[in-house]
Amino acid sequence: MARLADVLDRWMRCPHIADVLHLDRGMPIYWLERMARRMNMAVLDDEPTRLQYYAINLRGPVYGWASSLLRGNAFTPAVTMCAEFERKFLDFFRPIYCHRRGRVDLYQLQQRGSVAEYAREHQSIVSSIEDLTPDECLATFTSGLKPELQRENSVHFASSYEEALVKAQWQEQNTRRRRQRNHTLPAQKGQR
């Protein structure tokens, strides 16, 4: 296995590989992907060295957990391959990631197509979050609507998700009719 002093020395000389995991600032899954990309760019092919780089960039209880994986104990053998470490890391963080990721996706969701398409996408994310309140469901739905629908008082002051959905669909139909009417009016004026 690579000597820790050698790995630390290389780490200090290669700051592009340094990427300390901060659990409060981002998703651990993304950190793992970034680290793998950085080590690939640095052409680190040596498995023990790659494992050491993973461990060096961890802090706190996660560092202790990862170190115990790399050392092994009487019950489990030491992890010697990056693929095995990555799999165990993902298994460890996946529940946290899925819970947070659903909320992040929900708050970032924006309407691109029709209200019906947006509602289907919104509901698929909502169904994956266990502790979502009705108010949070309503707030995320209305905040993701297209700006012209958000401005409408009828949608803005809805008291439930279902009411907001019905009002948004009604408003979308009215907007579509208004646009069609405005398109036909100039053509009719020119015919007279």
Q: pLDDT digits over 67-109, tens only?
A: 888 888 778 888 888 888 888 887 777 666 556 667 778 888 8
Query: Residues 150-178: what's their mean pLDDT?
Result: 85
Contact 21, 31 (CB under 8 A): yes
Structure confidence at residue 1 as a pLDDT band (50, 70, 90): very low
Query: Residues 44-56: what's their mean pLDDT?
Result: 80
Which tops the pLDDT comparison, 98 or 164? 164
Q: What is the pLDDT of residue 143?
A: 86
Ranked by mean pLDDT, which of 73-82, 111-120, 142-151 comes out on top?
111-120
Contact 111, 144 (CB under 8 A): yes
Residue 125 DSSP one-character state: H
CA–CA separation, 167 vs 179, rounded Å? 18
Q: What is the pLDDT of residue 34?
A: 80
pTM above 0.85, yes or no: no
CA–CA separation, 71 vs 5, rounded Å? 17
CA–CA separation, 12 vs 61, rounded Å? 23
Q: What is the pLDDT of residue 118?
A: 94
